[in-house]
Structure 1
Amino acid sequence: MTTSSSISSTKPILIVGGTGKTGRRVVERLTAQNVPVRIGSRSGTPAFDWEDRNTWLPVLEGVKAAYITYYPDIAIPGATETVEAFTRLAVDNGVKRLVLLSGRGEHEAQRAEKAFQASGADWTIVRASWFAQNFSENVMLASILAGELALPVGSVGEPFIDTDDIADVVAAALTDDRHIGQLYEVTGPRLLTFAQATAEIASATKRDIRYLTITPEQFSEALTQEQLPPDIVGLLNELFTEVLDGRNEYLTDGVQRALGRAPRDFSDYVQKTAATGIWSGISEGQ
């Protein structure tokens, strides 16, 4: 396999969102390969904040490549313009090797992809389906622990992707030139409804966990009661009601194309996660 040799290997790779679901896993993989990394986050050194453009250039100085994840989600209005500006700054400062995390079926995400492809960067796009880890590493965890997951999603199938697969694809794309110019749409190997996914978690944990379909209005009210910011409430409602309207109810071969192997199955994620005890409230950390 051909790896980049034109830039000093001592230069770090910037991981924007290096403490997030996919970012921290990419950091783990690159570190295991003895690839130096720089974590782009508010707690990083130097600190990085999408909302403060004065923090952008310091994290880009001296890096040879970057993985870009947009917070809170690339689907929100204005994300395209922000990602485009950051990408342009990176390219203008000699950081041409860029990998972008995108989302399936999201209009704003696809706009961002087009701007990214036109940036002059040596680009790779990883367009991901719904993360399996959303059941254990975000707001859905509290519901699983409470024994009832209530969402505004009915019998729509989703090919949940394991974030370990995303990290494997991203790490490969950052270190191997053959991925330049590739758009990998990555999904898990089968479609599951949220009710079926919840049932698998219940079976693995031997707990009674119920799935309930609710209205978007009920969902927004529940999120508001959890004191989530209004913009996050709106984003989550849009993702659950629009992106999960059936438009993404199909499988893709992105993981196979990028890595030469099949993606991990949701059941593998469930068994591994259940063993940590996090769904029983006894986890020591994950």
Structure 2
Amino acid sequence: MKRKSYGKINLSLEVLNKREDGFHNIDTIMQFVDVYDEIEIETTNSNTIEIVCDEEGFPKDETNLIYKGWEALKVFYKENPGVRVEVIKNMPIAAGMGGGSSNCACVMEALNEIWNLNFSKEKLQEISKDIGSDVPYFFENRTLRATGRGFDFYDMIKIEDIPILIINNGCKVSTPYVYSKVEMAKERKMDKLVESLNRREIKKEFFFNDMTKVSVEVCPEIEDIIEDMYRLDAKVSLMSGSGSTVFGIFDSYEECNNAYNLLKVKYRYVFNTRAIRRDYEG
């Protein structure tokens, strides 16, 4: 079985406070983009999971979220749970696009079908909450506002077919490190952005990411990418998640294509893409 494992960007991200369980309460808007890893899942007689990927730095052991997702589901399957999962990575690793979480949810959805577990989306989300805070979002298919640990979801206006340029220079940022250093929000800002988006406005002054300051200390080139985006007419440019991926939203595909052609030779990962629903197979 072959599946596409789509990435996301955080249109904005607010860090509110630290919880008693050690996690943080956040307020964010998550958006699927047409950038994806390719995953193939096959059943085996091995009674275990084999994870295959040629990408340097991609874990293939029990630390991989795919492994954790398989481990969480196999307790509900009474037969041989052996599978082989091959991942072709297109998204950068540890970059703020949720690649590992997306891979996990993608494999869990596939196993739910292959093993005839017939679990609902909500059941899969509940099982996945302890695997990673981003994982439940990847069972959804649209733009959502997320609060709490990141999986209390609220409907948003539909955002699709907006030109987006995504750039990553290959620098990896540790999410736990960023959370350990980030300053908590002193005032709430997300409602203003939501109101603006509901008016179908994209205004630079309403977009933000509370994690940027810490991540820039790890990867200073984040600021250079944002400056390049604005120099090439992006309406908004922002770091996604804990970084180091930066996205730019453009008025037109022509402007986005122009920026792509000029920057693709400068940075390691450059994706000329758009906002989508996850079920888009274009």
Give the TM-score of the pair, scaled to structure 1.
0.27
Instruction: Tell me which protein shows more helix as a share of its residues.
Output: 1
TM-score, L = length of structure 2:
0.27
**Greater relative contact order (CA < 8 Å, ≥ 6 in sequence):** 2
Structure with the bigger percentage of strand: 2
